[in-house]
């Protein structure tokens, strides 16, 4: 699966977003190293701390399905500026893949790739020397 197909899956997942408070729809599509794809969308709650980001939803779906070798995640918003994952999502990405590729894209067709190591400079890990 190429990166554009993954971005399209993230765009489709974005349509399922439940975001009545922020009105900021986010979709994510996560590809594992064996080629499986898991999607997610942001789901808000009036008690904001109970909300979940699209990225974490996709990752948690993969983990709960027994997948551990995560490869690439595409994150799509309708923002004019490309939007990178929040700090909580970055930490979760690090937990499950120290070499994950993150592709951020918008509905205008702009995209940019990062490695998790670029976005999370000093991660917290099991080993204090991670």
Structure confidence by residue, pLDDT tens digits, 82-92: 999 999 999 99
Which residues, at least 6 apart from 128, have a Cβ–Cβ distance to it below 8 Å?
Answer: none
- Quick one: fold of 3-119? Cytidine Deaminase; domain 2 (3.40.140)
In this prediction, residue 126 has a pLDDT band, given cuts at 50, 70 and 90, of: confident
Query: pLDDT value at position 128?
Result: 61
Residues forming the active site: 55
Closest CA to 122 of 97, 70, 87, 83: 87
More confident position, 45 or 125: 45
Confirm if 29 and 13 have CB atoms less than 8 A apart: yes
Can you tell me the distance from the alpha carbon of 28 to that of 38, in angstroms, rounded to the nearest whole number? 8
pTM for this one? 0.93
């Amino acid at each position: 699966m190429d990166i554009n197909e993954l971005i399209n899956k993230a765009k489709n997942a974005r349509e399922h977003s439940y975001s009545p408070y922020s009105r900021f729809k986010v979709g994510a599509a996560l590809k594992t190293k064996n080629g499986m794809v898991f999607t997610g969308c942001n789901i808000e709650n009036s008690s904001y701390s109970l909300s979940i980001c699209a990225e974490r939803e996709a990752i948690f779906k993969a983990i709960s399905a027994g997948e551990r070798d995560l490869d690439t995640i595409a994150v799509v918003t309708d923002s004019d500026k490309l939007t990178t994952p929040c700090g909580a999502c970055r930490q979760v990405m690090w937990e499950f893949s120290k070499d994950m590729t993150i592709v951020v894209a918008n509905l205008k067709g702009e995209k940019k790739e990062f490695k998790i190591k670029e976005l999370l400079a000093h991660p917290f890990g099991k080993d204090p020397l991670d």
